[in-house]
Structure 1
Amino acid sequence: MTERVGEGKVYQTLQYMSRIAVWTYFRNLKVICHAPIPAEGPLLVAGNHMNMVLDPAMLIATFPHSRPCHFWALARFFKIPVIGQIFSSAGVLPVDTKTHSNAKLFESTMNCLEKGGVIAIFPEGTSYTAPHHLPFKDGLSWATYEYLSQQTDKGIPDPSISIIPVGITYSTKNKWRSDVIVEYGVPILVTGDDYREFQKDAKNSVKQLTERIAQGVERSTINSPDWDTANAAFEAKAVLFGDARGVRLEEYVRVSQSFINIFHPDRCNDDQDTYHEARNDLKQKLLIFHDNLRRLRLSSLDIRMYENKEITFFRALLRWVSTWSALVIQLPLFLPGIVVNLPIYLLSRMVNSFEKYKESVAQDKLAVSLILAMPLYSTIVYYIWKALASGFVGFIVALLLIPLFAWYHIALIDKRYDMLKQVIASWRVLMAVGSSVLSDGKHAPQRQELEDAAHLRQWCLDNIKSLLLDLAHSGDPNASYLVEYGKPLFEPVTPAATS
């Protein structure tokens, strides 16, 4: 088989490591392709960039046909020992942001495309934590037209190239065992006609293409005008559908974006919208609910069982005992994996506490895991080998047992991790309720806040259903989609009468 552009040993190693990283860090990965992506020929790829090193790792691990991707990266990374050599060997191309002299970058990019390679770029230029994507820079658009220019100069009558927009969405990007969706959008075809328009007005053509690219990526990502709208939409989704896994991953982006569109400030403040007051009132209540949960360190799912029930000390104690007992019963199954990996978990926890930038947490956790895993698992191999009376066969058996042990740990950990979170949540509820018992019935703000949150959740649930049904009947496409998606949840509800 012919080696593809950039498919050397270093890239193959990075591809293997990226797939292991994705498998160990994330619980679920969903790859969506809205159109066939060519297995060969030059391609440009544009993705959003919310999670530092994990974003290129996601493309390396999931790109269709396992095609090697050549990334643009800041030139300063190439000056770091070892990292620079790895980048160069893996086909990463340096971007000079200091002098802005990128003739060499474009030359390398054109050479790669000429050989039928894939150039992958994050047009925002940096990683970030924000409710929406950052403005896209024009570098990819200039590179596109440079390629068409060179093809035209070679006498190709009607050159073209496709740009693949990619949306990478993390359910909780800094949390271990969260979910991720990689969505490859419909290719943006840039043709000879576009190049002829570029020759007439280069800057305007570049800006228009950058806008097309941004819109392509935006269709596959979640974007909110502000954090309040994003938080209100998140809580509405959690109240209606449960936790993150209450929504199918293939619908996660659209469900989230639909709620954001419903609570968009333009809609909430539009006097011409019949339901603008209902939208705004519900949004404000959801934000209060969000703040209550943050102070209580609970999720909407944690207090769902207390809706329409008195939160008594006995009920809270029974809940904690039952969750703890269920975890203890299964403890022997996953205890060996926990004990072996405990140093990794503890140090990763420290990283999560001390890392200043949220977009760097996941990569730091993975780096710590890799650094600790090598000596840790090497030690395990050594002791297994010694236990098997040494020898070559014993060494091979020890090596084979390590991936089996890792698979066993990952296979068991998810459900038990959820059980542990339930134990912690039920303990926090018990402490909140117990605060009033210890104070002999006197004012206990934690218990009051817990009861208020439970009542507010039920109010929000009823009003979410009512508002969505009313909006759907009025023809709102976002509400219509949500009602259709969650159809069984709406069957008992009658739309509120409108005046």
Structure 2
Amino acid sequence: MDRKSTKCPWSYFLIRLLFKFVLKIFYGSIVVENSDLIPPDGQPCIVCANHSNSLTDALVLVTTIPSGKRSLLRLTAKATQFGKRTFTSWLIESAGTVPIKRRSDYSEDAKVDNTDVMSHLMDALELGDAVCLFPEGKSRYHPTMAPLKTGVARIVSDVLSRNRDDPNFTIYVQNCSITYTHRQHWRSDVLVTYHPPIRFTPKDNPELLKPIDYANILQLTENIRRQISQGTVDAPSWEIVRSAKCAANIYAPLGTMMSLGDYVRLVKAYINVFAVAHAPVSQGEKEESSLREEDDRIVRLCADLKVYQDQLARLGVKDDRIRRPLKPYTIAYRMTIRLTWSLFLLSISVPGLLLWFPVLLTTAYSVRNFKKTGPIWDTWDEIAQYKLIYGLMSGLCVWFGATVATLPLAGVTFFAIPLLMWMTLRWIEDAIAAFRAFFSLLRLLFAGSKTLAMLGETRKDLHERVKELSMKSMQLPENPEGYFSSSGGKHKGRVGSTVWESSTKYFSLRRRRKRDWNETLRLYDVVDFPQIGN
């Protein structure tokens, strides 16, 4: 039976609306999959997700869960973010967020008790609310998910036990995988995948009623971890992530009509294969020589992909330039086109750039100071959060400041300024993409035919090995272009297949010029990751 869930406070509605706009500005695209699976208002639901981008993860969930499905998502955050005179603190508290005390935030002698908090969350669930929890317990900038805490499973057990007299009382665990192509970079992309919810009732799950065998808690926690992990880039190391992305680019090269979800799942498939091959072999395992040889072959392929990607990064070119080599006169012609187009877009962007300059300066300054406060693995997961918050505040100041400065025309400039800033962002994104292509072509000219020929032979060998692995061991389709274009190609970053379609969609809010999911708003493609410990 559906319950009457808590009404959405005005501050939560405002925050959701505001940050839906801000996230659209910061990230190039936010692709949401399977939001129709989310249980509606009135059905108790725990939303669980991986946690790699601090407060940004919560904002992504708040803005991607349809308001028609869930009018309110009760969030949780570390207690140390409450009670401060900062915009972030106000933002968290006004949205009805519940403070959670983390053992790592307090001294060994301090008492850390979340009993009252857990009781409050269970009361909210019994009202039919949706509660958001991050089972990893803390945000971290690592290639792999942290071991999950058992809190979600214990809450499910406690709520079912409190309602054991109602055998049909239902609570759902809605798992979600959040994948950032580059979590802290402007105009990168985000994939949000909602998985089929797990349903629990006292009648169907007596093993979760008290007194309970702790093994059942561990099993449920493992089920949650497995479902979240399979929907995102979760790997033992950054090296395996990098090699897996290189393998995916070779198997489905630039121009393949592939959705972001397909791309992430393809990279994840290679990660799974590489991770198994690199896993240490215990005594008595894999005694058959054929299995050991297969793993050795995959490990060598992974290492060779790393060497190849290193060479591409050193030259500053894409794999596609090696796959389809160009004649010198073709390179020169394309360089002329790219440079002319880039300079034209930069010239018409000058007025808008004057408005964007204070925003960029403020965010760059704040992030630079924040990075100094700790090591990479303890600060980089909050960079996107700082860019969002400071970008929002400085952007609002520019908007209202420019409106006041043009007071006689305020009725016009109030709407014209954000429109100009939005179109400037589009033009700059295209200009930088063209400039990036120009420099890539320039590097090709200076690379030398001998170097390019050597890379071409290396790629040909890698393509054969990746293709063999993909079809024989991973059962991937032989023709990725045909397969992915029919399964979801319309979500691909390129505009369209015809000139007319490209032209008509130039001003569309959904338009994205990128043809490579790896690109961000920078003069280079981000293919490396910070060297940190796991």
Q: Same fold (TM over 0.5)?
A: yes
What stretches of structure 1 of length at least 5 have no aligned partner? 389-394, 434-446, 490-499
Query: 1:285 maps to which residue?
Result: 304
Structure 2 SS opposite 1:45: strand
Partner amino acid for 2:416? Answer: L
Aligned counterpart for 2:84 among listed residues 60, 65, 80: 80
Paired with 2:480 and 2:171, the residues of 1 have a C-alpha distance of: 36
TM-score in terms of structure 1 length: 0.81
Note the alpha carbon deviations across 1:262-319, whole angstroms, 9 max, x for none. 33352799742464454333322211122234444x2525x71686568x7x887665
Q: Which residue of the partner structure matches residue 460 of structure 2?
A: 462
Contact 2:477/2:483, CA 8 A, preserved across alignment: no
Structure 2 CA distance, aligned partners of 1:428 and 1:368?
Answer: 36
Tell me, what secondary structure is at the counterpart of 1:208? helix
Which one of the candidate residues 230, 235, 257 is aligned to 2:246?
Answer: 235
Once the 2 structures are TM-superposed, how far is the Cα of residue 21 of structure 1 from its aligned partner? 1.7
How far the C-alpha of 1:33 sits from its partner, in A, is: 0.7
- Describe the superposition over 1:328-357 as per-residue Cα deviations: whole angstroms up to 9, x where unpaired: 133343332223212323444556666343
- Alignment of structure 1 residues 453-492 onto 2, 5 Å: 454-455=452-453, 457-471=455-469, 474=472, 476=473, 478=474, 480-487=475-482
CA 1:278–1:345 in structure 2 vs 1: closer, same or farther (change >3 Å)?
same
Of 111, 130, 140, 2:123 maps to: 111
Distance 1:400 1:481 in 2: 49
Note the C-alpha offset of 1:409: 2.8
Q: C-alpha displacement at 1:385, in angstroms?
A: 2.5
Q: CA distance change for structure 1 residues 385 and 245 in 2, over 3 Å: closer, same or farther?
A: farther
1:167 matched to 2:167? The reply is no
Counterparts in 2 of 1:205 and 1:278: CA distance versus 1, 3 Å: closer
Q: Distance in 2 between matches of 1:93 and 1:351?
A: 27
- Name the residue aligned to 1:157: 167
- Which stretch shifts more, 199-208 or 54-63? 199-208
State the Cα distance separating 1:46 from its structure 2 match. 0.4
Determine the structure 2 residue equivalent to 1:94.
99
Higher helix share: 1
Q: Match for 2:413 among 383, 398, 419?
A: 398
2:115 & 2:385 partners in 1: Cα distance? 31
1:250 offset after TM fit, Å?
A: 2.6
Partner of 2:30: 29
Q: Percent identity?
A: 21
Return the letter of the residue paired with 2:298.
R
1:375/1:89 CA distance change after superposition, 3 Å: closer
Alpha-carbon contact 1:49-1:55 (below 8 Å) kept: yes
3-state SS, counterpart of residue 183 of structure 2: coil
CA contact (8 A) 1:171 1:180 kept: yes
Aligned residue for 2:176, secondary structure, equals strand
Distance in 1 between residues matched to 2:214 and 2:331, nearest whole Å: 64
1:165–1:187 CA contact under 8 A, matched in 2: yes
Residue 188 of structure 2: aligned partner: 178
Contact 1:44–1:118 (8 Å) recurs in 2: yes
Separation in 1 of the partners of 2:185 and 2:254? 14
1:114, distance to aligned residue in structure 2 (A): 1.9
The structure 1 residue matched to 2:201, chosen from 191, 198, 216, is: 191
SS in 2 for 1:119: strand
Amino acid across the alignment from 2:64: T
Does the 8 Å contact 1:282/1:463 carry over to 2?
no
Cα distance in 2 for partners of 1:78, 1:360 equals 16
Which residues in structure 2 correspond to 1:181-330 (within 5 Å)?
181-192=191-202, 193-242=204-253, 247-266=258-277, 271-273=289-291, 275-296=294-315, 298-301=316-319, 304=321, 308=325, 320-330=335-345
Change (3 A) 1:346 1:247: farther
Give the deviation of 1:47 after TM superposition: 0.2
Quote the residue 2:518 is aligned against. Answer: none
| 1:198 to partner: Cα distance | 4.2
Cα pair distance change 1:138/1:451, threshold 3 Å: farther
Alpha-carbon distance, 1:209 to partner: 1.2
How many Å separate the matches in 2 of 1:4 and 1:293?
54
Question: Structure 1 residues 262 and 105, CA, compared in 2 at 3 Å: closer, same or farther?
Answer: same
- 1:437 equivalent in structure 2: none
| Count of matched residue positions in the alignment of Structure 1 and Structure 2 | 455
Residue 370 (structure 1) aligned to one of 392, 400, 406: 392
| Worse-superposed segment, 410-419 or 20-29 | 410-419
Q: How far has the Cα of 1:91 moved from its partner?
A: 1.5
SS in 2 for 1:44: strand
Distance (whole Å) between structure 1 residues aligned to residue 360 and residue 255 of structure 2: 23
Q: TM-score, normalised by structure 2?
A: 0.76
1:272–1:227 CA distance, 2 compared to 1 (3 A): farther
Secondary structure of the 1:263 match is helix
Distance 1:25 1:333 in 2: 21
**Cα shift readout 1:339-378 (whole Å, capped 9, x = no counterpart):** 3212323444556666343322222222231232122222
Distance 2:395 2:466 in 1: 49
1:246–1:126 CA distance, 2 compared to 1 (3 A): farther
Residue in structure 2 matched with residue 494 of structure 1 by the alignment: none
CA distance in structure 1 between the aligned counterparts of 2:364 and 2:313, rounded to whole angstroms: 19
The alpha-carbon distance between structure 1 residues 244 and 385, as it changes in their structure 2 partners (threshold 3 A), is farther
Pick from 406, 417, 433 the counterpart of residue 432 of structure 2: 417
Structure with bigger gyration radius: 1
Using the TM superposition, name which of 194-203 and 336-345 deviates more: 194-203
CA distance in 1, matches of 2:133, 2:80: 17
Partner Cα separation in structure 2 for residue 418 and residue 455 of structure 1: 26
Q: Which residue of 2 aligns with 1:392?
A: none
Q: 1:235 to 1:198 in 2, by over 3 A?
A: same
CA distance in 2, matches of 1:486, 1:57: 34
Q: Deviations over 1:238-276 (max 9, x none)?
A: 334346986311312211112223333527997424644
Q: Report deviation, 1:379.
A: 2.2
Change (3 A) 1:51 1:472: closer
* Structure-2 residue corresponding to 1:497: none
Offset, 1:457 = 4.7
In the alignment, the residues of structure 2 paired with residue 344 and residue 375 of structure 1 have an alpha-carbon distance, to the nearest angstrom, of: 9
Alignment partner of 1:422: what SS? helix
| AA of the residue aligned to 1:258 | A
Q: Which runs of 5+ in 2 are unaligned?
A: 485-534
Q: CA deviation at 1:177?
A: 0.7
Query: Is 1:60 paired with 2:62?
Result: yes
Is the Cα contact below 8 Å between 1:344 and 1:372 reproduced in 2? Answer: yes
CA distance in 2, matches of 1:368, 1:148: 43
